[in-house]
Amino acid sequence: MQRIRLRYTKRGRLRFTSHRDFQRAFERALRRAEVPMAYSAGFTPHPKVSYANAAPTGTGSEAEYLEIALTAPRDTEHLRELLDESMPAGLDIVDAVEARTSGLADRLTASVWELRLDGVDPAEAGRAVAAFTAADAVEVQRRTKNGLRTFDARPAVVSLRVAETQSEQADRPTGRPCAILRLVVRHVTPAVRPDDVLSGLRAVADLAPPVPAAVTRLAQGLLDEETGTVTDPLAPDREADTAAPAATEGAADPAAAKAPV
Determine, yes or no, domain membership for 223. Answer: yes
Q: Indicate if 141 and 87 belong to the same structural domain.
A: no
* CATH number, domain containing residue 149: 3.30.70
Distance CA 157, CA 86 (A): 37
Do both 227 and 171 map to the same domain? yes
Whether residues 90 and 139 fall in one domain:
no
- Which range has highest mean pLDDT (138-142, 252-256, 257-261)? 138-142
Which pLDDT belongs to residue 169? 57
Identify whether 260 is part of a domain.
Answer: no
- Does 246 fall in a domain? no
Looking at the fold, whether 99 and 114 belong to one and the same domain comes out as no
Q: Are residues 179 and 74 in the same domain?
A: no
Please report the beta strands in 34-86, taking only residues with DSSP state E, as ranges in sequence order.
49-52, 60-70
Q: How do residues 34-88 score in pLDDT, each as one tens digit?
A: 999 999 988 888 999 999 999 999 999 999 999 999 999 999 999 999 999 999 9
Report pLDDT digits (tens) over 84-129. Answer: 999 999 999 999 999 999 889 999 999 999 999 999 999 999 999 9
**Is residue 94 located within the same domain as residue 128?**
no
Q: How many domains does the chain have?
A: 2
Q: Is it the case that residue 254 has pLDDT exceeding 80?
A: no
Considering the entire predicted model, what is its pTM? 0.86
Report DSSP state, residue 193. P
Q: Are residues 120 and 209 in the same domain?
A: yes
- Asked whether residue 203 falls in the same domain as residue 127, the answer is yes
164 pLDDT higher than 90: no
The CATH number covering residue 6 comes to 3.30.70.580
**E strand segments, 99-254:** 110-118, 139-144, 147-152, 157-163, 178-186, 214-224, 229-231
**Does position 260 have pLDDT exceeding 70, yes or no?**
no
What is the residue-averaged pLDDT of the chain?
89
Instruction: Establish if 253 belongs to a structural domain.
Output: no
Are residues 226 and 113 part of one domain?
Answer: yes
Per-residue confidence (pLDDT) for residue 202, from 0 to 100 = 96
Residue 62's SS3 state is: strand
Question: Where is the domain boundary, 91, 106, 121?
Answer: 106
Whether omega for the bond prior to residue 190 falls within 30 degrees of 0, making it cis, is yes
pLDDT band at 244 (very low <50, low <70, confident <90, very high): low
Residue 249 lies in a domain: no
- Domain extent for 98: 2-106
